[in-house]
C-alpha cells in the first residue's frame, strides 16, 4: 500500500498555486524598507531613517467567530481587512506607526480561490494601514479543522520615538473624550450576534436590513484608523481602541488611577445595527460587548478639541473627572 501527503489531505501544489496568485497583491504593499521578496524563510524590513531612539511595538489578534459568518455567507473579501484592523488599531493606541504585517491562515483543505480572496483583503488592509505585508503562513491541517473551516491570526509591528513616548503630556481632569465612529460591529461579539440573528430570530443571511443584505451589514469590515491617527497625533494625549469589552473595559486601559471617564450615552451616535440588537439584549450587556458605534476614543485637552473635530469625523462624548479609574456611563 502506497501513501502520499496529498492522499492524507495536504496538497502542497495548491499551496504553491496560492503563493503565485497572491504575489502581485503582496508586492503592492511593499515600500523601500522591505528587504528581499516573497518566498523566503522570513520577511526582512529595514528600520526607517530619522529615528534617534526607535522603539518597536508588536500586536497580534484574530477575527473570532466573524470568520464562521464569512464561511456561511461564502464572502471572503472583507475578513482580511478585519484582521489587519484589529492589530494596527491596537498599535496606534501605543503611539506606534505600523511598519509591517504577517498573517497565519489555517484550514482543513486549502481552497486557492477562497484563500486568495482572504489574502487580497489582508493586502488591502495593509495598504490602508500604510504597512507592508512581508510574510505569512498557510497551514493545511485536515485532522485539526473540519470541512470548510479556517482560522486567521495576524501579527503587526510598529515603531515609535522613545523620547516622544516618555514626554507625552499627562491626562488630567477636564480633558475631553472624542469618539471616532466605527464602521459597524467590527470584530467582536459575533458569538452573540450569530445566536441572536440566526438561532433566536431565525433570520437569513440575505434578509434585508436597512436596505442592505444582512450578511453585508454583519460582515462590514473593521475601520482602520491609522491615516487619521497620523493626522491627529500632535493634538491627542491618548487613544483607546474599542474592541471586546466595549467602552467600559477598553477606555480605562489608558487612564491613570486617579481619573475616571464620564461618558454621556445620549451623545453616542449609536448605529442602527446596535439599536436593533438592543431590543433583545440588556443595555449593560450591550456596552460590555459591543462598540455601540464608537471604534476609537481620543483623549485631548479642551484647547485641542476644535482642531481634532475640524480634521476628523469625531464628536464629543464626555470628559475626564477626578475619581477612581473607570468609566461612568451617564
Q: Would you give the DSSP letter of residue 220?
A: P
* Burial class of residue 210, CB neighbours in 10 A (0-12, 13-18, 19+): exposed
- Residue 25 pLDDT more than 90? no
**pLDDT for 105:** 94
The pTM of the full predicted model, rounded to 2 decimals, is 0.94
165 sits in which H/E element: helix 162-166
**pLDDT for 5:** 59
Query: pLDDT band at 250, cuts 50/70/90?
Result: very high
CATH for 176-329, among 3.90.650.10, 3.40.640.10, 3.40.50.300, 1.20.1600.10?
A: 3.90.650.10
Average pLDDT of 209-219?
Answer: 95
Query: pLDDT band at 6, cuts 50/70/90?
Result: low
CATH 3.30.1330.10 in the chain is located at: 12-34+51-166
Lowest mean per-residue pLDDT among 3-12, 22-31, 187-196: 3-12
Average pLDDT of 95-110?
Answer: 94
The Cα 71–Cα 205 span in angstroms is 11
The Cα 109–Cα 39 span in angstroms is 21
Higher local confidence (pLDDT), 191 or 23:
191
Instruction: Please list, residue by residue across 51-69, b when 16 or more beta carbons sit within 10 angstroms of its beta carbon and e when fewer do.
Output: eeeebebebebbbbbbbeb
- Residue 8 pLDDT more than 60? no
CATH 3.30.1330.10, domain 12-34+51-166, yes or no: yes
Higher local confidence (pLDDT), 43 or 121:
121
- Residue 296 pLDDT more than 70? yes
- Residue 317 pLDDT more than 80? yes
Q: How confident is the prediction for the chain on average, in pLDDT? A: 93
Query: pLDDT band at 19, cuts 50/70/90?
Result: confident
- Percent above pLDDT 70 for the chain: 95
**pLDDT for 4:** 54
Closest CA to 315 of 298, 290, 330, 327: 298
CATH 3.90.650.10 in the chain is located at: 176-329
Query: pLDDT band at 9, cuts 50/70/90?
Result: low
pLDDT tens, residue by residue, 43-90: 899 999 999 999 999 999 999 999 999 999 999 999 999 999 999 999
59: Cβ–Cβ under 8 A, 6 or more apart, which residues?
87, 88, 90, 91, 155, 156, 157, 158
Amino acid at each position: 500500500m502506497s501513501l502520499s501527503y496529498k492522499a492524507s489531505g495536504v496538497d502542497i501544489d495548491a499551496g504553491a498555486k496560492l503563493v503565485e496568485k497572491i504575489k502581485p497583491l503582496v508586492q503592492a504593499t511593499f515600500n523601500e524598507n522591505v528587504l528581499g521578496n516573497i518566498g523566503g524563510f522570513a520577511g526582512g524590513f529595514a528600520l526607517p531613517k530619522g529615528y534617534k531612539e526607535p522603539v518597536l511595538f508588536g500586536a497580534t489578534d484574530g477575527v473570532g467567530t466573524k470568520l464562521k459568518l464569512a464561511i456561511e455567507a461564502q464572502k471572503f473579501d472583507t475578513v482580511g481587512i478585519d484582521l489587519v484592523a484589529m492589530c494596527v488599531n491596537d498599535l496606534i493606541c501605543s503611539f506606534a506607526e505600523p511598519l509591517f504585517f504577517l498573517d497565519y491562515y489555517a484550514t482543513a483543505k486549502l481552497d486557492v480561490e477562497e484563500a486568495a480572496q482572504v489574502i487580497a483583503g489582508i493586502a488591502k488592509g495593509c495598504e490602508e494601514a500604510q504597512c507592508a505585508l512581508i510574510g505569512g503562513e498557510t497551514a493545511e491541517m485536515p485532522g485539526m479543522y473540519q470541512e470548510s473551516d479556517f482560522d486567521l491570526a495576524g501579527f503587526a509591528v510598529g515603531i515609535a520615538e522613545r523620547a516622544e513616548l516618555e514626554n507625552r503630556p499627562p491626562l488630567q481632569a477636564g480633558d475631553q473624550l472624542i469618539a471616532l465612529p466605527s464602521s459597524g460591529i467590527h470584530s467582536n461579539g459575533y458569538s452573540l450576534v450569530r445566536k441572536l440573528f440566526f438561532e433566536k430570530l431565525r433570520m437569513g443571511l440575505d434578509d434585508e436590513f436597512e436596505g442592505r443584505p444582512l450578511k453585508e451589514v454583519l460582515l462590514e469590515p473593521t475601520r482602520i484608523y491609522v491615516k487619521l491617527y497620523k493626522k491627529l497625533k500632535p493634538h491627542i494625549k491618548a487613544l483607546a481602541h474599542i474592541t471586546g469589552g466595549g467602552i467600559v473595559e477598553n477606555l480605562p486601559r489608558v487612564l491613570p488611577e486617579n481619573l475616571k471617564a464620564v461618558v454621556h450615552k445620549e451623545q453616542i451616535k449609536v448605529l442602527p445595527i446596535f439599536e436593533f440588537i438592543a431590543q433583545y439584549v440588556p443595555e449593560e450587556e450591550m456596552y460590555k460587548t459591543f462598540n455601540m458605534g464608537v471604534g476609537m476614543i481620543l483623549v485631548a485637552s479642551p484647547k485641542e478639541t476644535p482642531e481634532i473635530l475640524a480634521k476628523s469625523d469625531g464628536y464629543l462624548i464626555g470628559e475626564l473627572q477626578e475619581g477612581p479609574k473607570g468609566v461612568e456611563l451617564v
